[in-house]
Chain A
Amino acid sequence: MEEFIKALRASEVRVSPAEAIDAHRALMEVGYGDRTLVRDTLCITLAKSEVEVDRFDEVFDAFFSRDAFRPESRSAPAGEDGAPSGAAESPSDLPLAQMLLEGDTISLNQAMEAAARRARSTDVRLNTQRNLLSRRILDEMGLRELEELIQRLREMGMPRDDALADRLAERREALFEEASRFVDRQMMLYASETGRRMRETLLGQTKLTGVEPEDMRQMEALVKRMAKRLATRYARKRHRADKGKLDVRKTIRKSMGYGGIPFNIVWKSETIEKPKIVAIVDVSRSVAAAAQFMLLFLYSLNEVIEKLEAFAFSDRLIRVGDILENEDLDSAIPSIIKKIGMRPTDYGRALVDFTELHRADLDRHTTVIILGDGRSNYSNPRLDIMREISRRARAVIWLNPEPETYWGQGDSRMDQYKRFCSVAKVCNTLNQLERIIEDVLRTYMPR
């Protein structure tokens, strides 16, 4: 049971200890007799969403399909040519040989499970451990002794012993196969989790500009999950706006002091400001690699936050909210880049465009997030507009993929822009991005 839960966790079905206890209690109610009943019971107590139900079914099938020793090993009964009485060596001295000859699949299974436990098969993590592990399991089962026995039987030279040796050798091959299949199953059950998590951890720390193409998919998934996580936290904060209803309970409470006459009327209104996020993303050539992820992040954020205004710019600035809204992920990002990206940057121009498009909506409920390197190709940085934005907005947050020592070097105007930002931070890994955005939501969102 413990092993099964471990396997479930490995395939991303989250099982808390309390749920495990529930499952135990449930099984005590129904017993182990009926496979479907056991399966349904466990499913109901352990899998907690549609996706998890599917995963559960998969794991259940994989986990409980261990009676896989093929029947042909059973087909030849051991007593067929009698016990090799004349031989000095008897296979019956060796439990493994005995089991193989008798085709005793149940004992073989049990022996393999036990050997696997001794060989710590559930700790298997990496693909490369596979052969080593199956070898270790076989050793634990007594493979070496078996081979010595076969060797000795052959040396005896008696035809009967030879035949026996052949049969043992043949079964040994089957055993090899069985062991490697067993290890495969173990890999599937226990290892997928850790390997994936390891890659994810690494990806979280990789520079956004240095992500390998084959990791992109996974990165996308990571970004999405992150945006989701942030959004749930953020959604919790803006809650119930003004309702303007009489709060009878509080009014009465207050009126107690005046003998039940409601002097103080309490209204149910908790006025909560509706926060807005404006995100401006630099998609120009200089930040091309990072822009991909910024847009990805923007896209995911757009899916979960209602009031998000999104802009992208290189030399000019456009509103990209519609594209994010209407196209799916695979086409949205390329179409934004095609529309506006990969040109030399002009921050001044972009800021002018921004004020034209959006100045009126910029108020003290708005948080502006700018993602860019602040490299403006020596054009006028229009710090005046930046000042204006920072004055009007609740907060301006600038995330720069370049390390801080580069700020202000060459055509970078970051050191100047920095002054008008509530926060200006380096952000070139996914982990940093998440941490910063989370800070932003926590600090600058009205609650």
Chain B
Amino acid sequence: MTVQLTKTPVADSPLASVEAIISGLAGCGYIASRRIATALFMAQHLSKPVLVEGVAGVGKTELAIATSTLLDLPLIRMQCYEGLDESKALYEWKYGKQLLYTQILKDRMGESLAGAATMEAAMDRLHGMGDMFFSEPFMEPRPILKALQSENGCVLLIDEIDKSDEAFEAFLLEVLSAFQASIPEIGTIKAKIAPLVFLTSNNVRDLGDALKRRCLHLHIPLPDASLEERIVATRVPGVEARLTRELVAFVQSLREIELRKVPSISETVDWARALVLLHAGALSTDVVRETLNVLLKYEQDIVAIEPKLNELLGRAAEVSGGE
């Protein structure tokens, strides 16, 4: 089904190998695990969309953004929500212009039909005029159509697909498997170059099997300590190595506690930024207490953690202060 689609030349592309992807993404400030890189590699070579799952804040959306930077392609982003329909996702008619067009048409009608002797002749001529009313010039492309029409390919990010309703999911199937969209009034529009598609999901609801089947599946877990340290170091330039180790160890220990919402990577990064802004060289109980709301987003969680703060910090210092 994807045979006719011209792929971007592979040899010198940044997606030529898994290693190239890892280093390329690192250059864009995204530290990818091997599995992430492999997924990207497969997506490119099999021309298949990637369904990215994982808890909020592990860098699902960020992956798409970094990929578009890496490939130097435009990123077309579509945020899903309940009630999203094709007129917002695929295309809409330019109603104003269509109305004007019918006005013009009416004015011109007398002229062009003047010579027609009979009603039949007039109708024939009318048919001969060609139907402009539903045609591409009157179409207002929405994200998906834009992605299909883009000249040099693009990265299409369908964000939080789980928030949309099932009808929309079904509507996406055609786009995802054949990179084409059917518009009743016009026909089928095929992608010039298959876009690299990312779908992200927080598992608010289970996605249909049909959708999953068409996608490669990538689950991004919460990172281990060393990976997270590298991520923090890349995302927060001014942070000292010692502090990084300490704060990552602290966050990792938080994740082992039953919390309503465990901090994910984005919280760690935000926290690191906050600490750098406060010129904190190390984690002290006071600093942590004041900045805890960056990490934990629920009052109950903060209340639960505060009494354990000293103990957790002590352990974090132990882990990080090895040398």
Which A residues contact B (CB, under 8 angstroms)?
Answer: 14, 16, 18-19, 22, 25-26, 29-30, 36-37, 40-41, 43-45, 47-50, 52-53, 232, 236, 239-240, 243, 248-249, 252, 256, 259-260
Q: How far is the CA of A141 from the CA of B111 in the complex (A)?
A: 94
| Complex A-B: 12 CB contacts under 8 Å | A14-B209, A29-B41, A30-B38, A37-B34, A40-B39, A43-B35, A44-B217, A44-B218, A45-B42, A45-B216, A252-B93, A252-B99
CB-based contact B98/A252 at 8 Å: yes
Question: Which residues of the other chain, B, contact A239 by a CB distance below 8 angstroms?
Answer: 165, 167
Minimum C-beta distance from B17 to chain A (A): 9
Question: Which residues of the other chain, B, contact A44 by a CB distance below 8 angstroms?
Answer: 35, 38-39, 42, 50, 216-218
**Count of residues in B whose CB is under 8 Å from the partner chain:** 37
Question: Which residues of the other chain, A, contact B53 by a CB distance below 8 angstroms?
Answer: 49-50
Q: How far is the CA of A43 from the CA of B165 in the complex (A)?
A: 27
CB-based contact A25/B46 at 8 Å: yes
Chain A residue, CB-CB nearest to B103: A260
**B248-264 vs A, Cβ < 8 Å mask (1 yes, 0 no):** 00000000000000000
Minimum C-beta distance from B27 to chain A (A): 21
**B188-201 vs A, Cβ < 8 Å mask (1 yes, 0 no):** 00000000000000
Question: Which residues of the other chain, A, contact B219 by a CB distance below 8 angstroms?
Answer: 49-50, 53
- Judged by a CB distance under 8 angstroms, whether B60 is at the interface is no
Question: Which residues of the other chain, B, contact A248 by a CB distance below 8 angstroms?
Answer: 95
| Nearest 7 pairs of A and B residues by beta carbon | A260-B102, A40-B38, A48-B212, A48-B217, A29-B45, A40-B35, A44-B216
**B285-321 vs A, Cβ < 8 Å mask (1 yes, 0 no):** 0000000000000000000000000000000000000
- Judged by a CB distance under 8 angstroms, whether B108 is at the interface is no
Question: Which residues of the other chain, A, contact B223 by a CB distance below 8 angstroms?
Answer: none
- Judged by a CB distance under 8 angstroms, whether B270 is at the interface is no
Which B residues contact A (CB, under 8 angstroms)?
Answer: 18, 34-35, 38-39, 41-42, 45-46, 48, 50-51, 53, 83, 87, 92-93, 95, 98-99, 102-103, 106, 133, 165-167, 203, 206, 209, 212-213, 215-219
Chain B interface helix/strand/loop/mixed: helix
Q: How far is the CA of A251 from the CA of B299 in the complex (A)?
A: 50
CB-based contact B48/A22 at 8 Å: yes
Q: How far is the CA of A14 from the CA of B167 in the complex (A)?
A: 23
Minimum C-beta distance from A74 to chain B (A): 33
CB-based contact B93/A29 at 8 Å: no
Question: Which residues of the other chain, B, contact A260 by a CB distance below 8 angstroms?
Answer: 99, 102-103, 106
Q: How far is the CA of A29 from the CA of B219 in the complex (A)?
A: 21
CB-based contact A37/B165 at 8 Å: no
Tell me which of A14, A53, A256 has the highest count of chain B C-beta atoms within 10 A of its own C-beta.
A53
Q: How far is the CA of A274 from the CA of B54 in the complex (A)?
A: 33
Question: Which residues of the other chain, B, contact A45 by a CB distance below 8 angstroms?
Answer: 42, 216-217
CB-based contact A240/B83 at 8 Å: yes
CB-based contact B93/A249 at 8 Å: yes
CB-based contact B42/A41 at 8 Å: yes
Minimum C-beta distance from B92 to chain A (A): 8
Minimum C-beta distance from A144 to chain B (A): 48
CB-based contact B213/A48 at 8 Å: yes
Q: How far is the CA of A229 from the CA of B255 in the complex (A)?
A: 32
CB-based contact B95/A18 at 8 Å: no
Minimum C-beta distance from A403 to chain B (A): 37
Chain A residue, CB-CB nearest to B99: A260
CB-based contact B46/A29 at 8 Å: yes
Q: How far is the CA of A240 from the CA of B103 in the complex (A)?
A: 35
Q: From A18, A47, A49, A232, give the contact of B213 (CB < 8 A).
A: A18
15 more contacts with CB within 8 A, not counting A37-B34, A240-B83, are A16-B209, A19-B213, A29-B41, A29-B42, A41-B38, A44-B42, A44-B217, A48-B212, A52-B217, A239-B165, A243-B83, A249-B87, A252-B93, A259-B106, A260-B102
